[in-house]
Structure 1
């Protein structure tokens, strides 16, 4: 292995091997949300990554634009998950056309890469600008409230092993809470049986709490329709068609559906 800027985003095939979704649970859950609230066909998948979810929404009949900052991810998406249009954009602030979309989708904690209040404001302002009046914001992310008094996911390394093209990879991940910055910090050390040196990668998610998220959304012109801890594509047990959304916000994941209001902001 080499030492790129980010091992996963620079190697999309590795990302898909590390985080498989053969049943396309994330895409199916998203499409269920969109149908339940009657969203129009134009969808922006913000932080689309390898394009798996964007392609699923495209196959469901949506007109999808996938946006990501990683050139490698976008190239992989165009080659392996065709159908959507793929564009480069920064979720901290983007302009893809005023009212150009009926829904903005932000999955797999992508929103939490907005670490500061300014970055969150930039993202939500951009999302509101991109949405037609009444358009939906659908997001799935870690739940900051879970870490209030809980330590079961913290400070203990967790190792996952998988194979890709004959090479066995081991990803050992440790999570810690930075309370001052309100971040969940992650150190992931990669080793492989091909003789390459270990690679340590560092990243972080913003810890957003449910009531804080409601306040931010209201301030940016969104009405929260759903905010709950599951079921969803990364919960246990996972979401399945026909399962109604929950009402609690206590577990590890948050699932959000919000509508852009018509009020002027």
Structure 2
């Protein structure tokens, strides 16, 4: 079982400053990872902050420093609706970022839509297959002495972004539901999302927690209670946002409004204001 990394909290004055700061951090991280591995992998999130961050990346003068043809894109969750639906995180991400740079189509890994599959469970199984195949390809290309004997179920996930809902859900893992309780599968189908649309596909907590860095990106007063509970050490089944943890780093990148109930001891040592 991976060792849990204590979270770091970085607080910014408002959501616009927050999104610009996350964008700058993401560009820098992608460049650093590409320098080390030759390519980089990021798991995107939707929502106001997630998509706003992608727009800020596209608008940044520093964005061309990234070799976008060598970035692998995955999603933490997706709405199980038509492929061209504006509700889809992938559609929004293409408009905000991916259409602005020479991203290789084979590096964009979208969860299946209701046009392609009969149920969210079928789409989830297909997404798990895509992840496993990517892991196998990565394993085959790894000629280092310390590679494992067999490929795992997931490729290397360098940065994984997650939003947090007012109910403390992350990806499409909702409090008390089966998805947040899943311990074996990497991807699950969701049929009873409390917020529409009800059917979704989501990475599970075991999959999320394989990422090198997990960035929790949150803005708004309505999220303050969820953020406070998560950072106070609540149980993930009741507060899913308490569960994500990167293998090397866990960052909470939040605005002042969302930070209203963050435990004081975390703010004193870890918060930075930009």
- Comparing both chains, which one has the higher relative contact order based on Cα–Cα distances under 8 Å and sequence gaps of 6 or more? 2
TM class, shorter-chain normalised? 0.3 to 0.5
Which structure features the higher share of helix residues? 2
TM-score of the two chains, using structure 2 as the length reference: 0.36
Which structure features the higher share of strand residues? 1
